[in-house]
Amino acid sequence: MNTKALGQLSGLAGSLVAGSLITAEQAVEAQKQAAIEKVHFVQYLVEKENVDGRRLAELTSHEFGLPLFDIAALNTDSIPVALVDAALMQKHHALPLLHHGNRLFVAVSDPTNLSALAEIKFHTGINTDAVLVEESALSEALAKCAESQDALSDGLSDLDASYLDDIDIVSDGEAKEEDDGSESIDETPIVRFVNKVLIDAIKQGASDIHFEPYEHSYRVRFRTDGILEEVVKPPRNLAPRLAARLKVMSQMDISERRLPQDGRIQMKLSRNRAIDFRVNTLPTLYGEKIVLRILDPGSAKMGIDALGYESYQKDMYLKVLNQPQGMILVTGPTGSGKTVSLYTGLNILNTPERNISTAEDPVEINLDGVNQVHVNAKVGLNFAEALRSFLRQDPDVIMVGEIRDLETAEIAIKAAQTGHLVLSTLHTNSASETITRLLNMGVPAFNVASSVNLIIAQRLARRLCKTCSVPADDIPHGTLLEEGFTEDMLTGATIMSPVGCKACNAGYKGRVGIYEVVKITPSIAKLIMEEGNSMQIATQARAEGFHDLRIAALKKVAQGMTSLEEANRITVD
């Protein structure tokens, strides 16, 4: 039986049997059970069969001609675990030991696991070499790495004031002596605290972080799903050091505290993903308020289907994007998602056949293949000047961050009339008001009517949590009709209300776009030529089937995506 079983064994198993470490029956059964339990053969032998790990490692080293390394002698803090995803290490029971040049030495206890080296090489882009280690030492090292990563994760998700116990808090008198922050900016606790706040904001899906000093207090707030929420209150005397740290990270002048400054921080989350922070400081009565806008490049690549357009609105947007010339205007207040809508359109247009240029203040999301210009009024590079230069650069698509004045509007409209597709934004409340805003700037009605193809007015509504939202059965049918619902909208609809649970923020999780998409039809163009007011243009748009923001919000309520309270918060009947 032993001879027959031995013939079924692999090289490693056969060597272990030949070395009298295990029997042939044990080897066959171990291979079978290891496959069932989805663990490696060597791992199973040590953990389940109590095989001598040291002797097993020596036989394996001899069989495969690999050096046997004592991982216990290595300082685990020097292990380059950041190069390899934690899940990948656990999956393959392998640990990176040393990164030198273009080679990564990976510790394994089972050298027959060739897929581990191949997958690690694929994910890191670095050539990998196997180093043999004892199984028990490898398992212990992997467990330590997992514990350290879990501890880091737990620490970053627990933003409470107790974390500040680690910070060397000085008295008010000492704080005044250090007010310039120059001697404290490298303090490890401050660095750790700031990093903790930034990463926690990313994890919570916040869009902005506010560091706010007051006379007797200091607070940090996150804007999550459009709502500001206080997350921690550091001691007031830490304000100068926190401001100094953020300014150093943003490459600002830490000695300048009398004037506002702008900067940028990039935080790498992984080898292939980074998050940018747009940073602005503002001198206030009791110190510098610092606001960070979180810019995720991935938001531009979510795809148009993820933004919340109704199907007919999406079709209109895509159709106009594919036209060779004309203008698309996206409007709404700050924080309404205009940038994401524009960048989604640019991402669709971004092909090798098109020359795309953008003028922005500032550039919020970097897009490969798009020529992005950061306007700088201090040196005379404003939107109008950038647009003039674009027109001499053989463009196909132009994006203007915002039309703020007549000069910029005239050049943008001229570009839209001369064979270019122009995308831009305006700060107006509705599509009809966008038209009157251009007319009030001094743009001739004929130019507006002949160049503007599509106007998108938008808001962002908080999306109901799917886990805890419940039907709002207490709202009378008549009240719903008074709110603006039609009988058709209510047919088969279930109005939902927020509750709140551990998985969400007061019953909401994420946001969804609310859109008014108006195409400039011949009838609307005629009204523009006659210099009709915004109410007349809005009435004509409704008559032609273009829903306003209120109806669009109520549709999202009827679909169960958001609540009636949220619709009332962001729109006015």
pLDDT digits (tens, 9 = 90+) for 216-255: 999 999 998 888 999 999 888 888 888 988 988 888 887 7
The yes-or-no verdict on residue 130 having pLDDT over 70 is yes
pLDDT of residue 101: 65
Query: Which of 293-297, 491-495, 551-555 has the weakest average pLDDT?
Result: 293-297
pLDDT of residue 166: 40
pLDDT of residue 565: 92
Query: Which of 114-123, 450-459, 560-569 has the weakest average pLDDT?
Result: 114-123
Mean pLDDT, residues 177-185 taken together: 42
pLDDT of residue 165: 40
pLDDT of residue 177: 39
Task: State how far the Cα of 302 lies from the Cα of 343, in Å rounded to an integer.
Answer: 10
Contact 234, 220 (CB under 8 A): yes
Contact 524, 452 (CB under 8 A): no
The yes-or-no verdict on residue 422 having pLDDT over 70 is yes
Contact 424, 520 (CB under 8 A): no
Mean pLDDT, residues 561-570 taken together: 92
pLDDT of residue 33: 79
pLDDT of residue 195: 86
The yes-or-no verdict on residue 168 having pLDDT over 60 is no
The yes-or-no verdict on residue 545 having pLDDT over 70 is yes
Contact 451, 413 (CB under 8 A): yes
The yes-or-no verdict on residue 398 having pLDDT over 90 is yes
The yes-or-no verdict on residue 188 having pLDDT over 70 is no
pLDDT of residue 164: 39
pLDDT of residue 276: 87
pLDDT of residue 82: 57
Higher-pLDDT residue of 506 and 211 is 211
Higher-pLDDT residue of 527 and 55 is 527
Question: Residue 292 phi/psi, 5° resolution?
Answer: -110, 125
Higher-pLDDT residue of 505 and 48 is 505
Residue 44 CB coordination number (10 Å): 22
Mean pLDDT, residues 82-94 taken together: 74
Separation in Å, CA 466 to CA 95, 470, 503: 39, 9, 9
Task: State how far the Cα of 120 lies from the Cα of 166, in Å rounded to an integer.
Answer: 37
Query: Which of 210-219, 316-325, 471-480 has the weakest average pLDDT?
Result: 471-480
In tens, the pLDDT along 365-391 reads 788 899 999 888 778 888 889 999 999
| CA angle centred on 479, ends 473 and 485, rounded to 5° | 95
- The pTM is what? 0.63
Residues in the chain: 573
pLDDT of residue 365: 79
pLDDT of residue 434: 94
Task: State how far the Cα of 525 lies from the Cα of 453, in Å rounded to an integer.
Answer: 10
The two three-digit tokens of residue 215, written as one number? 């006379």
Q: How many CA atoms lie within 13 A of 182 on its CB side?
A: 7
Task: State how far the Cα of 561 lies from the Cα of 496, in Å rounded to an integer.
Answer: 8
Mean pLDDT, residues 148-174 taken together: 41
pLDDT of residue 24: 78
pLDDT of residue 211: 97
- Percentage of the chain surpassing pLDDT 70? 86
Return the sign of the alpha-carbon dihedral for residues 337, 339, 344, 348: positive
The yes-or-no verdict on residue 459 having pLDDT over 90 is yes
The yes-or-no verdict on residue 161 having pLDDT over 70 is no
Query: Which of 72-86, 189-203, 450-464, 526-540 has the weakest average pLDDT?
Result: 72-86
pLDDT of residue 112: 75
Query: Which of 135-139, 229-233, 395-399 has the weakest average pLDDT?
Result: 135-139
Query: Which of 27-36, 198-207, 348-357, 402-411 has the weakest average pLDDT?
Result: 27-36
- Percentage of the chain surpassing pLDDT 90? 36
pLDDT of residue 351: 92
Lay out the sheet containing 95-100: strands in order across: 68-69, 127-133, 103-108, 95-100
Query: What is the average pLDDT value for the chain, to the nearest integer?
Result: 82
Hey, which of 92-101, 141-150, 448-457 has the most confident mean pLDDT? Answer: 448-457
The yes-or-no verdict on residue 413 having pLDDT over 80 is yes
Q: How confident is the model at residue 8 (pLDDT cuts 50, 70, 90)?
A: low
| CA angle centred on 365, ends 363 and 371, rounded to 5° | 65
